[in-house]
Amino acid sequence: MELQPAPINHGIVFRRVDLLDGPVEVPAHVDNVVDDRLGTTIGNAAGVRVATIEHLMAALSGCGIDNATVEIHGPEVPVMDGSAAPFVFLIECAGILPQSAPRRLIEVIRPVSVGSDSVSADLLPGSGFSVGLSIDFDSPAIGQQAFRLRLANGAFKSELSRSRTFGFAHEVEHLRKAGLARGGSLDNAVVVSGDQILNEDGLRYDDECVRHKVLDCVGDLYLAGGQVLGHFEGCRSGHATNHEILRKLFADQRNWRYRTADADELAGARLERVYA
């Protein structure tokens, strides 16, 4: 995979270059989501897909990258270590180029909600971009966790980007029979078994699981086609719910509007933890 610069108003576009008929581009937008099992997969009508894009999308959002072409040899973004940190590192090594146009934000102007009593998500008007999320698992190793952050000059890199995807040991065989998680290992995921974390080095944060769910949410919400300006509040929400709330936002033009960023919002390319 290679990240390439792109012109103003290009957005984030994935470009498959391994196909016999030549390169095919798939814009990173919620309208192009074709699968949300275990991760976010985008595709086109011809069946060309790119899977597991959420960690890279979170890194692009956290680094304030509005325009880029993701040239990829294969059907899936490299998993790396299961977090967004390697992508952030590579983006920082390459450097970021300011462009001669204001950032276009997607402002939430009316509340929208999806879900049920057990799984829900809300997008609310708000200054800046903030995310609140709670999870609840039967496993004693995870249990109930909550995390909240806001878009500001802050600690995306140190507080959020290193959190890894997680899964349960008893689910591995079932997932692999379904053709999923074939590359999963202790090198690129937190693996939970009952009340134990099987990774030799343990967790990177005590609440790494909920932090990673927030990271996923940041990546999924960047499928709006730009930075969301508003507050996301989720309860046990995952990829499907994150996509659903965006679709509901865009279903009614009265719910949102485009606007350009002011100076404070332009500075907010990183995520700052508010409280957990």
Q: Which pLDDT belongs to residue 272?
A: 35
Structural domain boundaries in the chain: 2-275
Q: Which pLDDT belongs to residue 154?
A: 47
**Cα 26 versus chain centre, distance:** 17
Q: Which pLDDT belongs to residue 231?
A: 96
CA-derived radius of gyration, the chain: 18
Q: Which pLDDT belongs to residue 268?
A: 46
What are the pLDDT digits (tens) for 150-202?
865 545 787 899 999 998 877 765 555 555 555 556 778 898 888 889 888 89
Q: Which pLDDT belongs to residue 173?
A: 59
Question: CA-CA distance, 247 to 24, in Å (whole number)?
Answer: 24
Query: What are the average pLDDT values for consecutive 10-residue runs of the chain, which has 276 residues?
Result: 96 97 97 94 97 96 94 95 95 94 95 94 93 93 93 69 88 58 69 87 94 96 96 96 98 96 54 34
CATH T-level fold of 2-275: lpxc deacetylase, domain 1 (3.30.1700)
Q: Which pLDDT belongs to residue 71?
A: 98
The DSSP letter of residue 154 is: S
Question: CA-CA distance, 51 to 41, in Å (whole number)?
Answer: 4
Active site (catalytic) residues: 239
Q: Which pLDDT belongs to residue 189?
A: 87
Single pTM value for the model: 0.91
Q: Which pLDDT belongs to residue 172?
A: 64
- CA 50, 53, 57, 59 torsion-angle sign: negative
